[in-house]
Structure 1
Amino acid sequence: MDTSMAIKVVKFGGSSLADAKQIQKAAAIIQADPQRRYVVPSAPGKRFSGDTKVTDMLYACYALAEAGVEFQKELEAIQARYDDIIAGLGIQLSLADEFAVIAENFRKRAGKDYAASRGEYLNGKVIAAYLGFPFVDAADVIFFQPNGSLNDQKTEEALRARLTDLENAVIPGFYGCGADGYVKTFSRGGSDVTGSIVAGAVKAALYENWTDVSGFLVADPRIVENPAVIRTITYTELRELSYMGASVLHEAAIFPVRAAGIPINIRNTNAPEEPGTMIVPDSSDEEVSAYTITGIAGKKQFTSINIHKDLMNSQIGFCRDVLSVLADHQIPLEHMPSSIDSMTVIVDTEHLKGIEEQIRTEIIKAVQPDSMDVEENIALIAVVGRGMCRTRGVAARIFAALAHARINVRMIDQGSSELNVIVAVKEADFEQAIRCIYDMFVNSVAE
């Protein structure tokens, strides 16, 4: 492998590769930078609203095969999608043999994972032919353990061995080889995970993830109109926002590059001039957000269990006994603010369904509280940012923004890292609360 030039691994999502025009955009991006050496494509996504993704077409087609129903017409429709792409790219390529193999394997019940993976496999073949790059089947270089987890060592060794002598390559995303020798897909993260694994294996300088948005947004655009783009975010900040419901990369797609200290750049295929969002290691000296906060995210459907008992702080094991009740029922704890005479535990409402009275009874038996009440329809909002630990009065500004909108804060919780502040509000106030916090920390700065 030529080490004289920094390596970039580039992954393109389904919307970026939905048709020939989109693939030409992606190819222009790849060809514009010789450092973009290894390409990880997704299957073709939707070309327009109401269209069907190729992966969904494959699932539907295989369902017919599994049911013993003739599926040739549906498979031909999928082949037509690829033939349209090939014609639009103006390349000499036939996938007839590939589709004959797929048809045979569908009749042999090769499995849903095999069926789903063919979208990436075929698109990889097309893109490799268009770029003139070698095609590397992911099933030859990515391996899973018997329990379904990634076989990290075997995968890294195989990727390095295969790519060492290849200046460029196309490695389709989403799948690899299971411990049984059959094709297996990633349960979550899809092609994002493949791109991250390849980047880690070749010690890339940067992992570019090309999609249809110009980076991550400070807040949900369904709640805040035209929110600002996050230019730089650390892996820890990203994890905090992701946990609280922000639509970001799945943890499995982050770990391989995070462990290797490789930054990720989220870019827009349709606006390649935009810098996008750079995800950097926590130790990075990259410039922090232009605002005190980096992002705002939140989720609804939580329940607050409020427990009061005089001299609670002097009763050894009080909190432990309460948490033991939740643990016995496999209920994860979200947050637990407390004072000398009271504590509150916030849990996902879904986990309490059908057993709320039983939980209440067991807590009363365990700690004999003076009073206890349960409040449903609670929403949690996370305000996250590295800049918060260097700025005074962040919590006060959050309270001020919410108080001005007459929104009652049910709970506030700040971690020792001072990286995030969590506030609980009624679900009915959720959207308005996010808008108020955004106005306080972003719009007030922009004006």
Structure 2
Amino acid sequence: MIVCKFGGTSVASAAQITKVANIVKSDEKRRIVVVSAPGKRSSDDIKVTDLLIDLADAALANADVESKIETVVNRYKDITAELGLGQDICDVIAADLRERVAGDRSNTELFIDSLKASGEDNNAKVIAAYFSSIGMPARYVSPKDLLIVNDLPERTFAVPEAYERLASLATTEEIIVFPGFFGYTKDGILRTFDRGGSDITGSILASAVDAELYENFTDVDCVFSANPKIVNNPAEIKEITYREMRELSYAGFSVFHDEALMPVFKKGIPVNIKNTNNPSAPGTRVVPTRELTGRPVTGISVDSGFSTLYVSKYLMNREIGFGRKLLQIVEEEGISYEHTPSGLDDISVIMRSNQLTAEKEERIVQRIENELHVDHVYFRHGFSMVVLVGEGMRNSTGLAGRAALAISKLGVNIDMINQGSSEVSLVFGVLQNYEDIILKALYEEFFTAVPV
């Protein structure tokens, strides 16, 4: 069995959904199809998810919601009319939206999640109906009672019981159309996954049914070694390991959500990232291991929006428990950290800026001063993390020196260097306004005129 997931641009219109049907029909092993909400049909279009957020905001503000509901339903009407489906399914969608708008608003986040999730849920109903209408026996399956997720307040993840329940779908003779992005707690509360949530749903299903392959359809032919919006004609990546993809996805590769790799990684199920608009292209395969090439670096990525907490104290290295106490202060503010480079007398804690507020920063600094009696403590903002990733980096000497020299030639200061024990990635912390020129310089160093 093959589980395949289609992203927002792949299901944005009737023409795109027709392509999806042809892809699914072309291989009888494609028995489970995970779909996103309709995405943008053009660069100036609005995603259905954004329309639903607008609807949720209007409902919470006790403003007029009927016009907002109509706008959402009209997007589906455009799709269903072109697909030759009747009015009935649009009536179902309108009723569903009104029921969600009338739902419990005591928890604002859950209320908004419920409306956002309707995008995937209702699109799955439309696509299942279309498949059946053209002679492809299919049925919509709701995540309720199947994709069981954890309770609040932790971020959403599938509990072990979800895999046991979803395993029953492995024996299906029909095509299952399953909405991505969300699941339900045992108490029936709808919760959404983080960004890229449909990728996560597809991966969970592939793991649960022991699929031989998880296909992730998007709008590009493959994963590129660098952002093509910054680097001209970057090299294509034909094959990449789970670890490499995890590092690149974490550091800003938007093609595949880093968290989505975990379920298939545990089972060793390969992933193939392919293009809905060019399904014959081989795409990029994500596999447990691969043969190394002459190129040590597989990809280079940049992610922005980081802040650094600098802490300095003489003889810090001799103070037992200092690091634990420091990170506990950060933890108690509900903040996760990304890197902790350190020296004898200083340590930096790098975190996502969006987790911080002025009040949190002030409390953290005061507690560190009062409880850890440091010499200096302060925050700095506006950093980016430039990440070089490659399984071949472990066997390549002088790579860090080459990267640092390429950056230094630009006259740019490196604020942080971090290499994990796996030696699959090398991270440079730099000021955000230099990220593009650094990416270009590193690509030139490691990819131009380098044999594959």
TM-score class normalised by the smaller sequence: 0.7 to 0.9
TM-score using structure 2 length: 0.82
- Say if 2:93 and 2:122, in contact at 8 Å, map to a contact too: no
Q: Tell me, in whole angstroms, the C-alpha distance in 2 between the residues paired with 1:312 and 1:216.
A: 43
SS in 2 for 1:95: helix
Pick which of 359-368 and 420-429 moved more.
359-368
Question: 30, 35, 45: which is aligned to 1:41?
Answer: 35
Q: Tell me, in whole angstroms, the C-alpha distance in 1 between the residues paired with 2:379 and 2:90.
A: 62
Question: 264, 287, 291: which is aligned to 1:280?
Answer: 287
Q: 1:120 to 1:258 in 2, by over 3 A?
A: farther
Give the deviation of 1:262 after TM superposition. Answer: 1.0
Whether 1:173 aligns to 2:180 is: yes
The one-letter code sitting in structure 2 at the alignment partner of 1:345 is: S
1:309-353 Cα shifts (integer Å, max 9, x gaps): 3x665555565565566556565544344445x333143374484
Pick which of 185-194 and 70-79 moved more.
70-79
2:391 aligned residue:
386
Give the deviation of 1:200 after TM superposition. Answer: 1.4
SS in 1 for 2:240: strand
2:295 aligned residue:
291
Q: 1:262 to 1:368 in 2, by over 3 A?
A: same
Give the deviation of 1:141 after TM superposition. Answer: 5.2
2:350 aligned residue:
347
Q: 1:162 to 1:397 in 2, by over 3 A?
A: closer
Whether 1:18 aligns to 2:16 is: no
Q: What's the % identity of the aligned pairs? A: 37
SS in 2 for 1:223: coil
Question: 427, 435, 448: which is aligned to 1:422?
Answer: 427
Q: Tell me, in whole angstroms, the C-alpha distance in 2 between the residues paired with 1:357 and 1:140.
A: 43
1:255-305 Cα shifts (integer Å, max 9, x gaps): 222222111111111122322222222xx2x23466311222233543362
Paired residues for 1:3-14 under 5 Å:
7-14=1-8
2:126 aligned residue:
123
Question: 212, 215, 234: which is aligned to 2:219?
Answer: 212
Paired residues for 1:24-423 under 5 Å:
24-61=18-55, 71-90=65-84, 94-99=88-93, 101-102=95-96, 105-106=99-100, 108-109=102-103, 112-115=112-115, 116-117=117-118, 118-129=121-132, 130=134, 132-140=136-144, 142-145=146-149, 147=151, 149-150=156-157, 152-181=159-188, 184-281=191-288, 284=289, 286-288=290-292, 291-298=295-302, 299-303=304-308, 305=310, 307=312, 309=314, 313=317, 326=330, 332-340=336-344, 342-348=345-351, 350=353, 351=356, 353-354=358-359, 377-423=382-428
Q: Tell me, in whole angstroms, the C-alpha distance in 2 between the residues paired with 1:443 and 1:188.
A: 33
Q: 1:91 to 1:305 in 2, by over 3 A?
A: closer
Give the deviation of 1:132 after TM superposition. Answer: 1.8
Q: Tell me, in whole angstroms, the C-alpha distance in 1 between the residues paired with 2:360 and 2:277.
A: 49
Q: Tell me, in whole angstroms, the C-alpha distance in 2 between the residues paired with 1:63 and 1:317.
A: 46
What is the CA RMSD across the aligned residues, in angstroms?
3.5
The one-letter code sitting in structure 2 at the alignment partner of 1:170 is: V
Q: 1:179 to 1:439 in 2, by over 3 A?
A: same
Q: 1:370 to 1:113 in 2, by over 3 A?
A: closer
SS in 1 for 2:449: helix
Give the deviation of 1:96 after TM superposition. Answer: 4.8
Q: Tell me, in whole angstroms, the C-alpha distance in 1 between the residues paired with 2:363 and 2:157.
A: 40
- Say if 1:208 and 1:267, in contact at 8 Å, map to a contact too: yes
Whether 1:431 aligns to 2:432 is: no
Give the deviation of 1:67 after TM superposition. Answer: 6.1
- Say if 2:368 and 2:377, in contact at 8 Å, map to a contact too: no
Q: 1:287 to 1:166 in 2, by over 3 A?
A: same
Which consecutive residues of structure 2, in runs of 5 or more, have no partner in the other structure? Answer: 105-110
Q: Tell me, in whole angstroms, the C-alpha distance in 1 between the residues paired with 2:189 and 2:367.
A: 48
Q: Tell me, in whole angstroms, the C-alpha distance in 2 between the residues paired with 1:349 and 1:171.
A: 32
Which consecutive residues of structure 1, in runs of 5 or more, have no partner in the other structure? Answer: 1-6
Q: 1:227 to 1:63 in 2, by over 3 A?
A: same
Give the deviation of 1:394 after TM superposition. Answer: 0.8
Aligned residues: 436
Pick which of 321-330 and 220-229 moved more.
321-330
- Say if 2:69 and 2:94, in contact at 8 Å, map to a contact too: no
SS in 2 for 1:43: coil
Pick which of 189-198 and 321-330 moved more.
321-330
- Say if 2:309 and 2:350, in contact at 8 Å, map to a contact too: yes
Pick which of 141-150 and 202-211 moved more.
141-150
- Say if 1:308 and 1:369, in contact at 8 Å, map to a contact too: yes
Q: Tell me, in whole angstroms, the C-alpha distance in 2 between the residues paired with 1:31 and 1:67.
A: 45
- Say if 1:163 and 1:169, in contact at 8 Å, map to a contact too: no
Give the deviation of 1:113 after TM superposition. Answer: 4.4
Q: Tell me, in whole angstroms, the C-alpha distance in 1 between the residues paired with 2:370 and 2:190.
A: 52
- Say if 2:149 and 2:162, in contact at 8 Å, map to a contact too: no
The one-letter code sitting in structure 2 at the alignment partner of 1:258 is: F
Pick which of 257-266 and 90-99 moved more.
90-99
The one-letter code sitting in structure 2 at the alignment partner of 1:408 is: N
Q: Tell me, in whole angstroms, the C-alpha distance in 1 between the residues paired with 2:408 and 2:361.
A: 32
